[in-house]
Each structure stands twice: as structure tokens, then as C-alpha cells.
Structure 1
Amino acid sequence: MPTTCVSLVLLDFLTELPPELSLQILSQLDAESLTRAALVSRDWHGFTLDPLLWRQAFLQHNGWSSSSPTHRLSTWDDMMAGIRPWRTMYQQRHRLEKRWTANGPKTVHYLNGHSDSVYCLQFNDDLLVTGSRDRTVKFWDLRDDYRCTRTLAGHEGSVLCLKYDARHLVTGSSDFSVMVWDMDQPPEADPPPQGPVMQLRSHIAGVLDVAMSDQTIVSCSKDCTIKLWNRANGDLLRSIPAHRRPVNAIQISGHQMVSASGDGLVNLWDVETGNYIRSFEGHLSGLACVQFKDNRILSGSNDKTIKMWDPRTSECVSTLTGHQDLVRTLHYAGGQRLVSGSYDQTVKIWDLAANKCNLSLDNGHSSWVFDVQCDLTRLISAGQDQKILVWEFAPDLDDTLLVA
């Protein structure tokens, strides 16, 4: 019987298809799969270098871009104009995100200038503002060697809280007052800046937190009240007997605000009317801090936990445990990252999607942490030890390539 010889021909479907179809197929892969595909052959490696594939991979990550939710690319030719180095962007952002986990920060800067505990801070790309028990507010240049460029003195007690935007800086103090300062004054003006443009007085105890909307300034106090002020002229609009214990923190989101109190409650309010909406109950002790953003309310307590709430239903969605003392401060900038500071002297970085602590910064402060904030590449903390710490996670990365 004659022998039949069968010849097998293996076809590489990516190289046989039109390039547009091959790229559409590869666009279904995530970054890890693209990296593995690049090892198949030289041709596949060439395909996986296509910038639009890496654009797709970059935009698939929740929180990596301010763009709307990603969609599958449909017409590759339509995307060819203005292509950015997406593969490099992905690699740099991936390195940055790793540093927010077990690898930690690359450099830490210590800012010295206050002569007592630093209670509060806020920063943006260029400017850090801090308030202290030494009764002063200091401005720091984050672009030029972290210099202190301006000091405001006016309060007769500790500066316990502050908020600023392009128009105003608002500070609250243990002297029972709220002061409004002009942010348009150049940091190194000659003559030097005068005092506050407004002083708001109605509280009968220390002012523990402040917040702002376009028209309104909100303050809360150890006197258990929340007060709403006309931002244009400083008139007191209303005073709300908000809690049974000191109101330690407030935050505005849209037309609503939340307050957190030593009575263990988070309360939700209508900013325009001052009307009470609902309460959030579940902490076992008093509250020190609260955040309200992206339909999430987050609260920190003396029970050593952080809770996340649904503002529409009052349901406790999750509870984060790990701190060993009062959770004094929280900052949530969006996405899945939350940072917290505690009287246990640590700053922790949390993954809200996984409900876990990704990183604990244990060696920065030698006493209670009073305030902490973060952005994409930096975390800044302040505490009872007079220290202001700037934790830099991307000093060697190109920040223009980190966001789409």
C-alpha cells in the first residue's frame, strides 16, 4: 500500500490578515497580554509596538486618565493624527503605580519653618499652604526648592484648618474666628500683604474645619454648630445646631455637604437650605475626619477604622482596618486611592477597590499625624512633631507622560 505524505503548513494569522484587522484583534488584549504576545515572533513584536494598542491599554485603567470611559477603537486611521508615545506613557505610569504599593516613595523632603505643631495643609502643583499651632499660615513654593515664600499672621490662636482656591484662602482657628485672605496678593509683594479681607465671627468655640463653594463659606466648630456665610460680603446666612458633640470635619460636594462629629455620626445636609437629609451610623466612637466625592462618603474614627458609605442609602459599603489609633485625617482625590493619617504616627495608602492597605509609611513622623493630602505623584503630611513631609513618588519620571 503506498505511503501518503502529509505536509502541514502553519500559517501566522496576524501576518496573513490585513494590518488593520490584526491590530483590531490585538486591541482586545490588556497590557500584560500584549507583552506576552510580543515574545511570539519578530512579526508579533512589531505589531505590539503600535502606539494605538498602548493607548487602548492606558485608557483601560480606571483613574489613569480624566477622559470618558474607554471604548474599543473602530477606525484606526481616524486616530493617527497627534499620536502620543503611549507605550512609554504606559510604562512610566505603571512604574508610578507600583511605587504607591510595596515599593514606596523614592524621595522625602522635610520642610522646616513652623515653630509648633502643623495642623492643616492644602497643595496644588505649585503651592503648599500650611497652618500651625504657632498661629501662622505659611506658603511654600513646590516648584523651587520648597522655599517658604509668605507668612500670614492674624489669628490669636492655633490655625486648625484651611481651604483655598484661586480667589480666597479661608482659615479657622481656636480663637473662634474664620478669616478670609486674598489669594491674588503676590507671595512676595512690596509692600507686604495686609491682614485678612474678612473676619467671620459667630462661633463660641474653636473652628475645627472650613469648606467653600462659589457663593458660600462653611465652618464647623467645637460648639457643635455648622455656620454658612455669604462668601461675597461675610454675612452669616444660617447657623445649624448640627450635632450633640463637636463638629470635627465638613466637606462640600455639589449642593450637599457632610459633617463628622464626636457623637459618632456622619450627617448629610443641603448646602443651599441647610436642611438635614440623613445620618450614617456604624462607627463605635467619635469621628475626626470625612471626605465626600464621586458618590462616596469616607469617614475616619477614634474606633481606629475607616468606613465607606453610599450617600443615597446610608449603607456602609466597606470598613477598612489597620490603624492602631484614631484616624485623624483622610484624603480622597478620586479613583481607587485613599490616604489616611493617624495618631499611630503612620500614613497609609488604601486600594478602595480591593479594600486593603497597599502601603504604610511608618518612618516619617515621630508623633500624631494631623493632616495628609495626595495627588498623582506626591503625598504631603503634617503632624504634631512640627514636620511637613513631602513624599515624592515620581522625581525621575516625566509628569507630562503620566496622564492622557
Structure 2
Amino acid sequence: MLSTKRQISPGSGDPSSEPPSALPSRLKTKQNVPSSWSPNTTASNRRRLGGLFADLGMPVCGSPLKAAPAGAESTPTKFGQRSGLMGTLSSPITSFADRLAVLSMVANGEIDSEESPVKRKSKSKQVEGGKECFADNEDAAYERKRDIEEGLKFEHLPDDLILEILLRLPPTPQALSPISSVSKRFYNLSRAPILWARIFNDAGYASQLSREVLERGLGVWEGPKGQWEGLTWVPEAQGAIDETEEEVPSEYVPVHYPTLYRTAYTLPQHIRSLLPAHRASFSALSSHTESIYCVQSVGDWLITGSRDRSIKIWRLPLVNNDEEAKLVTTVPNAHNGSILGLCFELDDKERGLVLTSSSDCTASIWSLDLSPYSQRKSVAVNKLQTLLHPLAVLDVALTPSSIVTASKDCHVRVYSRDSFELVHLLAGHRGPVNCVTPRKVDWMVSREKGERREEVVSASGDGSWIVWDIKNGCQLRKGADIGRGLACVAWEDDYILTGDNECLVKLYDAETCELLKVFQGHSNLVRAVALRVRDGMAISGSYDESVMIWDLHTGHLIKRPTLEHHSLIFDLEMSCKRLILVGHGHSVQVLTWGKGLPYIDFFV
């Protein structure tokens, strides 16, 4: 889980010249004393802060930095019960931003896990009518009178209270921009890790981070040495003295959130850019001896399936180094025919399942263990089950509870992931089912909304696509159903994208089935498509040996990436930084954007 921390460099005289600590107990007021010291009572401080919120048009409610409610003794998690604050932090129903807010204040373990991470003064309580209330004293009355006479000055507030106010602003860089221009102190406060972690999460970028960064990331105040010049990062010359290097415990990964946000924002601009400086780097992975029909990536792992009947597992390199991708293992003769489709998923320990489909009329289920790779440079792949079909199996898909196959016999089959038994035989297409895929969603948003739907979309040679409820085994809605036939389909959020025999790429509303856009430019069958809804892009690969990147909203062609090897495109994968292509040639083509950007290897 991500957290935030800072250590103030020794010898710092003026607190306004340094970013404030993320721990409230270390924050300094304008008088350079700990914020826990004040002549005001808690009641007076609360009254002042509430007045400021009212002046700013903000609701007076609980602290955005507040930890778990006092009554929440334990929180159910995937692994059982955890009590107190850490139970709240690890709970799957706690938002990423909430966890960050808490962790920013307890990263050092110096604050009691059962208390709010925002340090408060001890409260003098009285009971009136069975309800607790806070008692004012003469100092509070004096402060109230002075406030009326002089007016409350925002800059006189201690840093922790100012941070609470800033946390009530909209989570955007634009909202912080006016604050950062007030003074050096306010500029430093506007760069607080807790603020930018919230902005980063609200923009939806957290789902693009690697698991390691999500679990071990620690927000820091000082960023990488360098500066932005437009869309380009210019690092400082090697050998430059780092005067504010922060000490971060070895179990954490230091993250400067303003820089991380800028990189995430810049990446899609590099993909769209036509400037030579932003051109993708190219690499080719060679080992297959025949055409490659299918590819999928998870993080830095890549699996391919080929007409040579083998499965190959690759490890992709970091972007900001000169290493090449490594072939980790090959499963020869995985089927008795060409491997036409595959998919796989991994858990937190890099273990999971692989599904493959073949022209030999079977689909195979494999166990996959990639965890030994870091120590022994080896992995384990073992066949668990073979699923027999009457005709060729053209594609496969995985959902949380089911295995789904698409067959040449016009049917979609649903199997239990636990027993591998056939659960549903879905009929609705009149031609071969060429492709099946689950809805791709932002897993963080889906989890926080509590979504439990299991739906897939299938595309057929009859020209239609169908959305299925695979838990109940029923058809939900049907789209297209015209034209010469669909070869591929992708589904992300509320959009379905298809490629067909008429050389067209079409975008549909997944709920209403309404045709929204038609992308024209290919001169042969469109065999592979992908969506990047967050970045406003659609990607297509064709038998005309080209790949095209389209603007999802205007329908215009953004660019046609230059390929070093030209062949029919059979399948493609698009992530936030890589485009992976396979086809009639015997190599995997990988285009990578973002080389040289800070933190680029934190993204997958």
C-alpha cells in the first residue's frame, strides 16, 4: 500500500524554505513552534477552521485525514480480520485515496494506530444532557474577541490545518495552482505528497501502476533531479550534488507524486505526438518458427501462441535501460494444432492460470507459477485440464468465476473455474464465434463501487456481437447484426469496439448498442482491435499489414506507427506505454513510448 513521508534536512533554519513534514506533530506554525502548541483551545481552533470552510463555501464535516471510526474495531479483509487502523488500511472496501491519507500520517509508526492521524490537543470534555461537549476557557474567549476585532488571517494557521483545508479542494492540479503562487510556504504546502497522491488517484492513474509500487510506494517531498521542458524530461547532469536527498527505508519505493502525475499525463501525449523526439523505440522478439496468432501481457510478462503449436513466455525489460526481452520458457506441442487464442492472469504471488484454444478442437487449462523467476530464472507451467469441443476453439476468456470459450460451432461455452465442468452452453450466433472478451474496467473503481457483474462480449462471422451474463447463462443484448462478419472485438468501460471483413472499425455504446463512430482507413480485414478509453484512443491492426491509432472521440486517425517488419496483423495488445503486435511473421513486435521519463517503469 502506498504511503507518504518526509525527513527535513539538517540545518534547515526557516521552516518556510522547506516543505513541511507530513506528520502533524512535526509541522511548524508561523512562529516556528510545533503546531500542537497554541494558546487557543481545541474549541477555538475548530470554530476558526469551521469559519474558514464556510467562507470558502466548503461543508464543515469530518477531517479528510481522519482514520477509522472509533467504533470500527475490525475490518474484514481477504485474509481475515485486522483490527484498528491497519484493518481499515488493508480493507478492500477502503479507497486508495483514503488509505493514502491515513498512511501519510502514520508511515513512521509514531502515531497510535487507534487514533486519528491528525494530532489534536487533549480535549477538556464536559457532559451536558448525556452528550459530550468541549469546554471553552478564558483564552478562547479572548481569541474569539480578537478574531472579531482583527479578522482571522489564513496564513496564521498551522500547516496541518492548512493541509486539511487544501484536502477539501477539488483533487486537480488547477485547484492547487493559485495556492502555490501565494508564497514559498504555500508553494511547499501545495506540493504535499498527500495532496498529489489524491490527485493522482482521482485521475485514475493508480490502476496503471505496478503491484510493487501500489504496495510499497512511499510519497516523498523531493523529486528526481531535473526539469520538464514541455513533454520532455531533462535530467540534471550526472555528478550534480543532491543537497536534499531523503532517507527512505529499504522496504519502501520512494515516489514523488507531482512528477509521477506529470509522467502519467505525458505518456499518452507521446503516443499521439508526431515529433521524432517522441517516436516509439522498437524491438522484435524472435523464437517462434511459424505465424504467431495470439498474444497477451500482464505487467512485464508476455505470453504468445503460434501455428508452431508452442506457447512461449517472455519477460519484458525496463524501459529506461538497454536490456532486451528474455524468453523465459517454451511449452512445445502444447496442442495438436495451431494455437488460436490465449489469456492468462496472475495473483499477488505471480501465480495463476493460462487458457489456450486450438484448431485441434480443444481448449487447455494450465497452472502458471512465475514466482521462482527472480531467484532461479525459471517458471513452472503444468496442464490441468483439456476441454473437448466438436469444432475448432477460436478464442478463450477468463472471469473471476468462469472459463469461457468461443467455437467454430457458433456456441459460447461457460465452465466453472473450480471444477472445470460445463455450466452453460450459450446459443445466439449463426456463424463461427471468432472472439470473446470480458469487459475491461478500472479494477479500483469497480472494487470501490462493489460491482460483481460477470459479462463477456462475443463477436461472430454472422456480423453480430452479443453481451452475455455468464453467471446466469443468458443473453443481455445484441448489437450490429449486419455486414459481412466480425473478426474481433474489445470492450472497455461503456464502449465496444469491433473490426470486420469490410475493413472498418466501429465503436458502439455497450448499453444501448448504438453505433457511435466508424473509423475508415484500412484496406483489408481488421483482425485485431484495442481500446484505451482513458487516453481517448482506439487501436486497430489489419491484414493490410498496418496498425492505426484513432482518436476515440473525433474518429480521426492520430497516427500510423512505423513498423520495421511488415506482415498480416493477427493480434495486438496496448498498454499505457507499449504496443505489442503479432502476425504472419515469426516475431513479436514491441513499440515502447516514454523512454527517459521519470518513473516510467512504475507503469505497466
TM-score tier, shorter chain, comes to 0.7 to 0.9
Residue 160 in structure 1 maps to residue 340 in structure 2: yes
Pick from 74, 85, 98: which aligns with 2:269?
Answer: 98
1:392 aligns with 2:579: no
Please state if 1:200 is matched with 2:387.
Answer: yes
Q: Name the amino acid aligned to 2:421.
A: D
Q: How far apart in 2 are the matches of 1:272 and 1:34?
A: 45
What's the CA shift for 1:288?
0.8
Residue in 1 that maps onto 2:556: 356
CA distance in 2, matches of 1:250, 1:168: 17
Aligned residue for 2:87?
Answer: none
Match of 1:181 among 344, 348, 366: 366
Secondary structure at the residue paired with 2:272? coil
CA contact (8 A) 1:365 1:383 kept: no
Q: Is the 8 A contact 2:469 2:476 kept in 1?
A: yes
Q: Report the CA distance between 1:392 and its aligned residue.
A: 1.1
Counterpart for residue 537 of structure 2: 337
Q: 1:236 to 1:378 in 2, by over 3 A?
A: same
Residue 220 (structure 1) aligned to one of 396, 399, 406:
406
Equivalence for 1:319: 518
Q: How many residues align?
A: 367
Do the aligned partners of 2:542 and 2:568 also contact (CA within 8 Å) in 1? Answer: yes
Alignment CA distance shift 1:62-1:284 (3 Å)? farther
For residue 291 of structure 1, what is the amino acid of its counterpart?
A: A
Task: Tell me the equivalent position of 1:151.
Answer: 330
Find 1:241's aligned residue among 413, 427, 431.
427
Per the alignment, residue 272 of structure 1 pairs with 471
1:136 paired residue among 310, 314, 324? 310
Name the structure 2 match of 1:170.
355
1:184 Cα deviation from its structure 2 partner: 2.2
CA contact (8 A) 1:283 1:301 kept: no
Aligned to 1:74: none
Aligned-pair distance for 1:384? Answer: 0.6
The answer as to 2:301 corresponding to 1:117 is: no
Structure 2: how far apart are the matches of 1:221 and 1:29? 47
**SS of match in other structure, 1:196:** strand
1:145 aligns to what SS in structure 2? coil
Letter in 1 for 2:324: D
Q: Hey, what's the Cα distance between the residues in 2 that align with 1:324 and 1:30?
A: 43
Q: Identity of aligned pairs, percent? A: 29
Structure 1 position 370 matched with structure 2 position 570: yes
Pair 1:348–1:61, CA change in 2 (3 A): farther
State the distance in 2 between where 1:29 and 1:355 align.
Answer: 30
Amino acid at match of 1:280: G
Please list the CA deviations of residues 364-390 of structure 1 after superposition, one character each: whole Å capped at 9, or x if unmatched.
441111111121111111111112011
Query: Does structure 2 retain, via aligned residues, the 8 Å contact 1:326–1:344?
Result: yes
How far apart, in 2, do the equivalents of 1:401 and 1:365 lie?
Answer: 26
How many angstroms does 1:360 deviate by? 1.1
Counterpart secondary structure, 1:272? coil
Which residue in the other structure is 1:73 paired with?
none
Shift of 1:187: 7.0
Alpha-carbon offset, residue 207 of structure 1: 1.0
Q: Distance in 2 between matches of 1:239 and 1:324?
A: 36
Letter in 1 for 2:298: N
1:206–1:121 Cα change, 3 Å:
same
Distance 1:245-1:98 versus aligned 2 partners, 3 A rule? same
Measure the CA separation in 2 of the matches of 1:46 and 1:99. 34
User: What secondary structure sits across from 1:358 in the alignment?
Assistant: strand
Instruction: Say which of 277, 286, 295 aligns to 2:485.
Output: 286
Provide the C-alpha distance between the structure 1 equivalents of 2:560 and 2:204, rounded to a whole number of angstroms: 21
> Is 2:191 the partner of 1:51?
yes
**Separation in structure 2 between the aligned mates of residue 245 and residue 147 of structure 1, nearest angstrom:** 39
What are the superposed Cα offsets for residues 81-111 of structure 1, whole Å, 9 maximum, x if unpaired? Answer: 8556455345434542222113354311100
**Aligned partner letter, 1:383:** G
Structure 2 spans left out of the alignment, 5+ residues: 1-152, 209-218, 222-254, 318-322, 347-351, 440-452
Structure 1 window deviating more from structure 2 (111-120 vs 347-356): it is 347-356
255 and 333 in structure 1: CA distance in 2 versus 1, 3 angstrom threshold: same
SS at match of 1:92: helix
Provide the C-alpha distance between the structure 1 equivalents of 2:387 and 2:171, rounded to a whole number of angstroms: 57
8 Å CA contact 1:170–1:178 kept in 2: the answer is yes
Which of 116-125 and 271-280 deviates more?
A: 271-280
Query: C-alpha distance in 1, partners of 2:172/2:512?
Result: 35
Alpha carbons 1:157, 1:173 under 8 Å: kept: yes
User: For 1:303, what is the secondary structure of its paired residue?
Assistant: coil
> What are the Cα deviations for residues 277-317 of structure 1, in whole angstroms up to 9, with x where unaligned?
22112653210111122122111111222222222222112
Corresponding residue number in structure 2 for 1:258 = 457
1:192–1:358 Cα change, 3 Å: closer
User: Would you say the 8 A contact 2:171–2:199 is kept in 1?
Assistant: no
Work out which structure has the larger RCO, using CA pairs closer than 8 Å and 6 or more positions apart in sequence: 1
Question: CA contact under 8 A between 2:344 and 2:355: conserved in structure 1?
Answer: yes
CA distance in 1, matches of 2:560, 2:462: 29
Structure 1 residues 162 and 64: alpha-carbon distance in aligned structure 2, compared to 1, 3 A threshold: same
Superposed displacement of residue 402, structure 1 = 7.0
Q: Which has more strand, going by share of residues? A: 1
Q: Residues 105 and 160 of structure 1: is their aligned pair in 2 closer, same or farther, counting only changes over 3 Å?
A: farther
Read off the aligned partner of 1:106 and give its amino acid letter. A
Structure 1 Cα separation of the partners of residues 154 and 548 of structure 2: 50
Describe the shift of the 1:269–1:106 C-alpha distance in structure 2 as closer, same or farther (beyond 3 A): closer
Q: Name the TM-score, length of structure 2 as normaliser.
A: 0.54
**Compared with structure 1, are the counterparts of its residues 57 and 214 closer, same or farther at alpha carbon in structure 2 (3 Å cutoff)?**
closer
Q: Distance in 2 between matches of 1:93 and 1:52?
A: 18
* Separation in structure 2 between the aligned mates of residue 274 and residue 158 of structure 1, nearest angstrom: 29
Runs of 5+ consecutive residues of structure 1 not aligned to the other structure: 1-16, 68-80
Tell me the distance in 2 between the aligned counterparts of 1:212 and 1:156: 22
CA distance in 1 between partners of 2:378 and 2:591 (Å): 34
Post-superposition Cα deviations, 1:167-203, rounded to whole Å, max 9, x if no partner, equal: 210000010100011112667789995751110002x
- Compared CA separation, residues 195 and 156, structure 1 to 2 (3 A): farther
Matched residues in 2 for 1:246 and 1:352: separation? 28
State the alpha-carbon separation in 2 of the partners of residues 402 and 145 from structure 1.
18
SS at match of 1:361: coil
Q: Tell which deviates more after alignment, 269-278 or 353-362.
A: 353-362
- Contact preservation (8 Å) 1:250, 1:290: yes
Find the structure with the greater CA-based Rg.
Answer: 2
Paired with 2:197 and 2:425, the residues of 1 have a C-alpha distance of: 51
Distance 1:373 1:45, change over 3 A: farther
Is the CA contact 1:63–1:334 (under 8 Å) kept in the aligned structure 2?
no
Q: Secondary structure at the match of 1:100?
A: helix
